[in-house]
């Protein structure tokens, strides 16, 4: 097949673009996998024998459970234990008190099994698809996949066994976790999903397996690609069809260089993020799930800079009890102990709402969200704080972070409630230190009140993704204006400098969570500003550490001064690129990327 590609005189290097799901490069043959069944073809129909329909559904459910267990075993050797737990999440979705219970109730109302399944699955898919949080929004994919698999069993759909090329790229309209097992692990070289994002469970598993992945490649004509050899550049989110000999050979060399570079980065895992002139920065991770613990520690994480507590709220059909929250938080705190774990209090609102606590607004980004919601419902806030404090007993590595703060009075009110919760658990016999409390600066108002906020709390954490969005008045998920969203905009850099200066004046630590922290060049600029701690996705740790260890603080400060003097983002990009190349770090900054937030 390669010979055919190279001999084709009509090669045009056609490129289709998606988004990076997992970095890396591969050259492989396309294998298109279709969904096992289609809900669009299921009519509404009343059933004549309710018990027979219930039995039919339960039999289909058991068949799907068995197949998921088989898939789980097939991938067991390729996944770490905690990534492997994602299949337990699938199994729990099929429990009687989850999707299955709702479907059976629908059948007992007189709907036939296929129609009841379609109705319940669509209701849940629609509820998740409108959510703002990217991770939670991607759960719609899992629910849709499970529904299709149950439907296939109800319809007695048979799938034919197929063979795969030694180097295969799995392509589907919406790649799911269960699809990954359909291609032998030793042959799966890359993944392309027409829909979906880097927050999907398929992307999470692909990261664990180290498989280059492109998500959201909506223009890729995948139905005409079966068996064709293509090039996948996961870093850029590019898919090349009909490559020229030059492009083909270029990517062959890139694959070799990346393999060698990965080996070099592995030796940095247990080394500090220390510059050549002795300045140290703490590198932490952003987490949401139990599976993040092992992956983060294996990359050398020094703790958690942002744990998103809303995730356990989303997988429930009701507010989780205090004990349920304790169990969830304890997993994170124990997993990283004695390293610090910063837990952000419940950050919901707008279109990031809970199914059992709906919030509908015309402008959710400027509405009832974050600390505004929980202060209006102190009963929710108090239970969560109590759970955090109790989970911290015997560990004392908890830090509490307040999101979406715009007024100093909000901090005062939150601190009063935290004091109340702390006194309550002490009276109940819990022995735990009172944890540090910080504020998340992610709106412009907080930038200008950073000094007043710093006087109230123990630390500051900057949410650079939202802050950039608000400063530039750009919706980062709107393709019409996405090019205007830029984390290296001079105004953004000036705001970040103002925040860290306020923290230093108050003599408290200042950290930053966001995509800017995971970019090696961005990390150098933040270090130069004075940020003590950077928090990012685990995958970004090795390259950031490599950049810091091969730069001096003085070099970074010079680069920052020059960047702050620029008038536009393009000038900053060019400066950063030149500075990285001059330091011999072109492998860490081989192309200038407009940093688009993913979470």
Per-residue DSSP letter, 366: G
Bridge partners of residue 190, in order along the sequence: 169
- Alpha-carbon distance of 512 to 274, in angstroms, equals 18
Q: What's the sign of the alpha-carbon dihedral 133, 138, 144, 149?
A: negative
245 with 11: CB under 8 angstroms?
Answer: yes
d(CA 501, CA 307): 25
Nearest to 309 by CA among 129, 437, 538, 135: 135
Burial of 593 (0-12, 13-18, 19+ CB in 10 A): middle
Phi, psi of 460 (to 5 degrees): -120, 140
Query: How many residues appear in the chain?
Result: 599
Q: DSSP assignment of 186-205, as one string?
A: TTEEEEEESS--TTSHHHHH
> Catalytic residue among 20, 47, 328, 513, which?
513
Cβ-proximal residues to 59 (8 Å cutoff; 6+ apart), any chain: 153
Residue with token string 């530039």: 472
Assigned token pair, 381: 């806030």
Catalytic residue among 201, 235, 486, 589: 201
Catalytic residue status for 407? no
Q: Is 201 a catalytic residue?
A: yes
In the numeric block, which tokens belong to residue 385?
């704080």
Radius of gyration of the chain (CA): 25
Residues with catalytic roles: 201, 513
């Amino acid at each position: 097949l390669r010979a055919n590609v190279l001999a084709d005189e009509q090669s045009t290097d056609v490129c289709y673009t998606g988004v990076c799901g997992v970095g890396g490069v591969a050259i492989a043959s396309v294998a298109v996998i279709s969904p096992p069944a289609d809900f669009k073809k299921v009519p509404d129909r009343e059933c004549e024998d309710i018990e027979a329909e219930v039995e039919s559904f339960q039999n289909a459910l058991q068949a799907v459970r068995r197949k998921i267990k088989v898939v789980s075993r097939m991938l067991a050797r390729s996944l770490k234990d905690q990534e492997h737990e994602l299949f337990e999440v699938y199994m729990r979705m099929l429990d009687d008190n989850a999707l299955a219970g709702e479907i059976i109730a629908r059948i007992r109302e007189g709907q036939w099994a296929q129609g009841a399944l379609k109705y319940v699955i669509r209701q849940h898919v629609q509820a998740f698809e409108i959510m703002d949080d990217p991770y939670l929004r991607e759960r719609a994919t899992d629910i849709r996949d499970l529904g299709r698999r149950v439907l296939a069993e109800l319809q007695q759909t048979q799938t034919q066994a197929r063979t795969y090329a030694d180097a295969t790229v799995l392509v589907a309209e919406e790649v799911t976790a269960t699809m990954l097992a359909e291609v032998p692990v030793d042959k799966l070289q890359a993944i392309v999903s027409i829909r979906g994002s880097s927050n999907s469970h398929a992307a999470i598993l692909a990261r664990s397996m180290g498989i280059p992945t492109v998500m959201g490649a909506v223009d890729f004509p995948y139905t005409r690609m079966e068996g064709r050899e293509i090039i996948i550049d996961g870093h850029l989110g590019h898919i090349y069809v009909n490559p020229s000999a030059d492009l083909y050979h270029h990517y062959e060399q890139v694959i070799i260089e990346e393999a060698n570079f990965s080996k070099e980065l592995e030796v940095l895992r247990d080394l500090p993020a220390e510059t050549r002139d002795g300045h140290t920065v703490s590198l932490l991770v952003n987490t949401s799930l139990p599976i993040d613990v092992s992956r983060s520690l294996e990359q050398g994480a020094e703790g958690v800079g942002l744990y998103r507590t809303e995730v356990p709220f989303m997988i429930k059909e009701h507010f989780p009890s205090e004990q349920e929250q304790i169990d969830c938080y304890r997993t994170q705190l124990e997993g990283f102990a004695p390293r610090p774990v910063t837990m952000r209090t419940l950050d919901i609102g707008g279109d990031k709402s809970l199914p059992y606590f709906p919030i509908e607004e015309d402008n959710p980004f400027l509405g009832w969200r974050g600390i505004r919601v929980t202060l209006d419902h102190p009963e929710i806030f108090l239970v969560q704080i109590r759970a955090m404090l109790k989970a911290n007993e015997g560990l004392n590595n908890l830090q509490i972070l307040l999101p979406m703060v715009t007024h100093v009075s909000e901090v005062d009110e939150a601190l009063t409630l935290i004091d109340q919760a702390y006194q309550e658990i002490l009276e109940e016999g819990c022995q735990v230190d009172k944890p540090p409390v910080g504020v998340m600066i992610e709106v412009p108002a907080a930038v200008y009140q950073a000094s007043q906020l710093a006087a109230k709390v123990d630390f500051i954490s900057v949410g650079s993704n939202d802050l950039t969005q608000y400063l530039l008045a750009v919706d980062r998920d709107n393709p019409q204006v996405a090019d205007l969203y830029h984390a290296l905009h001079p105004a953004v850099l000036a705001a970040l400098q103002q925040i860290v200066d306020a923290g230093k004046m108050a003599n408290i630590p200042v950290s930053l969570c966001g995509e800017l922290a995971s970019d090696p060049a961005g990390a150098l600029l933040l270090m130069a500003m004075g940020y003590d701690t950077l928090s990012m996705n685990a995958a970004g740790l090795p390259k950031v550490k490599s950049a810091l260890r091969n730069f001096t603080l003085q070099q970074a400060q010079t680069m920052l001064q020059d960047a702050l003097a620029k008038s536009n983002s393009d000038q900053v990009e060019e400066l950063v690129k030149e500075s990285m190349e001059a330091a011999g770090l072109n492998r860490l900054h081989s192309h200038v990327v407009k940093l688009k937030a993913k979470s």
